[in-house]
């Protein structure tokens, strides 16, 4: 080989070394970038696992103190409550004949009316008895302030006093007992 060829060879080797060093540098930068990205992902996964673990621990503590952990559920089947109705549906029940007892569930006559309802309901009578809470805001428009205002002709015009019993037959009032005293007097007849 002559001198020119040797010099070219030297230059080529230097360029190759230079390119090789540049490639190694680029490779190191790529590896560094990859490691930084994977570090961010690893960190994110650790945070996620930590949050899920903390929530699980809080749930277990809550369940343990509320008796939901290690206990079988003894809850009775829930039933739809259809004993309490709104005053507006007094004449629209599917039963052909039934009673509707109107009173404020928290008022002065509540003990009397609850007693009448419970005794009647447990007596095995054929006719069903519904209750209307006159203390509910939805039923306030149906309260009469005096005996003269009582109207049991239809649901649209319905006005009753506290402690009123209506017997509904085929969508109309066939019997109305209004007021605490009359209701007490009628109680024996009702339970016969």
Chain CA centroid to CA 174, Å: 39
Do 20 and 99 belong together in one domain? no
Contacts of 96 (CB under 8 A, 6+ apart): 169, 170
Quick check: is 112 in a domain?
Answer: yes
Tens place of pLDDT for every residue, the chain, 192 residues? 576 677 767 777 777 777 777 877 777 777 777 666 566 677 788 899 999 999 999 888 888 777 666 655 555 555 555 689 999 999 998 888 999 999 999 999 899 999 999 888 888 888 999 999 999 999 999 999 888 899 998 888 999 988 899 999 999 999 999 988 999 899 888 877
Which of 19, 46, 74 is a domain's end point? 74
Which of 21, 41, 74 is a domain's end point? 74
Do 158 and 100 belong together in one domain? yes
Do 128 and 173 belong together in one domain? yes
Quick check: is 149 in a domain?
Answer: yes
Quick check: is 137 in a domain?
Answer: yes
CATH number at residue 154: 3.40.30.10
Do 68 and 41 belong together in one domain? yes
Number of domains in the chain: 2
Quick check: is 60 in a domain?
Answer: yes
Quick check: is 31 in a domain?
Answer: yes
Quick one: pLDDT at residue 76? 52
Q: Which token pair is 18? A: 């230079």
Sign of CA dihedral 26, 31, 37, 40: negative
Do 53 and 119 belong together in one domain? no
Do 66 and 142 belong together in one domain? no
| Closest by Cα among 125, 135, 36 to 87 | 135
Quick check: is 81 in a domain?
Answer: no
Q: Give the range of the structural domain holding residue 10, as residue numbers without chain letter.
A: 1-74
Quick one: pLDDT at residue 133? 94
Q: Which token pair is 1? A: 């080989």
Quick check: is 79 in a domain?
Answer: no
Output the pTM of the full model. Answer: 0.57
Quick one: pLDDT at residue 15? 75
Quick one: pLDDT at residue 38? 60
Quick one: pLDDT at residue 42? 74
Q: Work out the number of other CB atoms within 10 angstroms of the CB of residue 180.
A: 16
Contacts of 140 (CB under 8 A, 6+ apart): 134
């Amino acid at each position: 080989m002559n001198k020119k060829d040797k010099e070219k060879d030297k230059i080529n080797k230097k360029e190759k070394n230079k390119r090789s060093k540049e490639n190694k540098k680029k490779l190191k930068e790529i590896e560094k970038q990859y490691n930084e990205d994977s570090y961010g992902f690893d960190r994110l996964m650790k945070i996620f696992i930590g949050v899920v673990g903390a929530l699980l621990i809080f749930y277990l503590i809550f369940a343990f103190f509320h008796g939901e952990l290690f206990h079988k559920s003894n809850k009775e089947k829930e039933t739809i409550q259809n004993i309490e109705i709104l005053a507006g549906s007094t004449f629209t029940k599917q039963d052909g004949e039934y009673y509707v007892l109107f009173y404020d569930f928290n008022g002065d006559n509540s003990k009397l009316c609850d007693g009448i309802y419970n005794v009647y309901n447990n007596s095995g009578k054929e006719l069903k008895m519904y209750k209307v809470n006159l203390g509910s805001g939805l039923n306030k428009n149906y309260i009469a302030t005096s005996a003269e205002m009582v109207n049991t002709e239809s649901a649209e015009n319905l006005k009753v006093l506290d402690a009123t019993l209506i017997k509904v037959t085929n969508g109309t009032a066939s019997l109305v007992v209004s007021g605490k005293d009359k209701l007490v007097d009628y109680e024996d007849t009702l339970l016969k």
